Structure 1
């Protein structure tokens, strides 16, 4: 079954689980840079995963992506930088992208910062850190927008309510998971990235 064949009415728990969680495991590979996508709780769930990868020497730089959203006082990237430094990351190893407002802009604005820091043609692999249930859409957008020579490796970060093993057990988890699958369907239907089989 392809994503384009899915609708809100034919989503089952099995389909939601497969769309969001199947085949997005971290391969453990090293990369040229770690990219962390921002959110309100990114410092809590995503940054520690990125810092672990950094400490494991999987990449020497961390790019934190996310601007000020919904009138907040501080941008997601700036908030994540404070957390990363508190967890021991050297300030000079952090790249800030603080203009993006959504996942598509995360990728587009991150490419500019990657170009400035490394030159895109010199990058072979990036490690992408975001919440597990958000990874499928993020990967699809990155793979579609990034140059073909850059491999995007998933490095998922579990939150409390939307893990593969518990998303269906709470109203919040079920709502997030279902909403994310609808966003993926909309992205495919709008041509943001190609259709794919699940």
Structure 2
């Protein structure tokens, strides 16, 4: 199954944003054990590129692994070379989208306004990330999709177990979930069973 189909099927992209990724495999295994198999390692932490390669090697087809917070096309290229199966930007970054299109890699481009989301789509981003989703909530998403129903939008930032179904009901095709799912103190404590439990809660919330 290709990355976009995996995202559309699972409806959850787990955003792993840590200061360092020395426990990346443990985090990935905990998420997969909880039923979430689409993982995004952000470039804001040290060792993200190495983490992508390590997780791909350790988990194989059990996880779909991507890179997040990509701002430059060179960053996208390095992550793809390391095995990233999709690339996520926090804002509309057309050079990054183009770099992904040239490599036949899924781009999930960030945007907030209807103009930004539409431009990302037209530039080649098969999925567009509404960020920060907490600013507008499900009603804003619904309003954006009314005139632009062809957009495949993934709300990110502020998605919780309480509002996950509301975002999906408003038209989201999947949800990006980060700090509410993978908390830095939990990783630091090695309490990976808590990540598995949180993943199960999100899977249950999404499935309704």
Whether these two folds match at TM > 0.5 is no
* Greater strand fraction, Structure 1 or Structure 2: 2
Q: Which has the higher relative contact order, 1 or 2, with Cα contacts under 8 A spaced 6 or more apart?
A: 1
What is the TM-score normalised by the length of structure 1? 0.30
Higher Rg of the two aligned structures: 1
